[in-house]
Amino acid sequence: MHVAKPIIYLYPTETTDVSVKLGEPEKLTHTYPKYVDEWKVRAEPNGDLTDMVTGRKYYALYWEGKDADLPRYDDGFVVAKDEVVPFLEEKLAVLGLNEREANEFIIYWLPKLESAPYTFIHFVSQDEQDKNMPLTVQPEPDMIIRVLMTFKSLDKPIEVKEQILPEAPERNGFTVIEWGGTVISSGLIK
């Protein structure tokens, strides 16, 4: 399974030098800026980042990689093509993304999600994400929100139990946000 476009935003309460490490770098296939053992950036409260090696400016850290096999899902959502945008706007807010982050998520994933009449969507728990690709940030943030959407295109709707999403706590202090997605290969829906 391939995890596509996880990006990481850093929002410290004051200008802070930050180290970001991904727990299984051997799974990485693409990174920007280049990941060598860790990313070292100076982060601003508005999310602006400066690479401490090159001085280059970024708004987020990006990686793609091969993920461990995910379990079979028996819950999620079946979303009609014309309902994808309002569905994502609602669910991404529940999961803790702000409007700018949700906008970037939707812009990236919309063409893939609207390529079929229906889409099965499941949001992977943060615990499962932490197990598959640990994320370590120093200094330790007050809050980490990780949103990983798995999905499969469908020709017709299927019956699934609706997934209960945990509501993200209100952002407070140094906050790290990560979002990404992956296409479900056949057989991962129960």
Question: What's the CA gap between 20 and 61, in Å, rounded?
Answer: 9
Q: What is the DSSP code (8-state) at residue 137?
A: E
Q: How many domains does the chain have?
A: 1
Does residue 71 sit within a domain?
yes
The pLDDT tens digits of the residues spanning 62-118 come to 999 886 666 678 899 999 999 999 999 999 999 999 999 999 999 999 999 999 999
Q: What pLDDT band is residue 25 in, cutting at 50, 70 and 90?
A: confident
Q: What is the DSSP code (8-state) at residue 33?
A: S
Question: What's the CA gap between 24 and 132, in Å, rounded?
Answer: 8
Does residue 150 sit within a domain?
yes
Strand order in the sheet with 118-124: 28-32, 61-66, 2-11, 175-183, 143-154, 118-124, 75-80, 161-162
**Dihedral sign of CA atoms 146, 152, 154, 157 in order:** negative
What is the domain extent for residue 173? 2-183
Does residue 9 sit within a domain?
yes
Does residue 51 sit within a domain?
yes
Strands 61-66 and 57-58: unpaired
The pLDDT tens digits of the residues spanning 151-170 come to 999 999 999 999 999 988 89
SS3 assignment for 17-45 = EEEEEECCHHHEEEEECCCECEEEEEECC
Average pLDDT, the chain: 92
Does residue 190 sit within a domain?
no
Does residue 188 sit within a domain?
no
Does residue 189 sit within a domain?
no
**Total Cβ atoms within 10 A of residue 86:** 10
Structure tokens at 124: 């992977």
Contact 114, 84 (CB under 8 A): yes
Q: Report pLDDT for 74.
A: 85
Does residue 134 sit within a domain?
yes
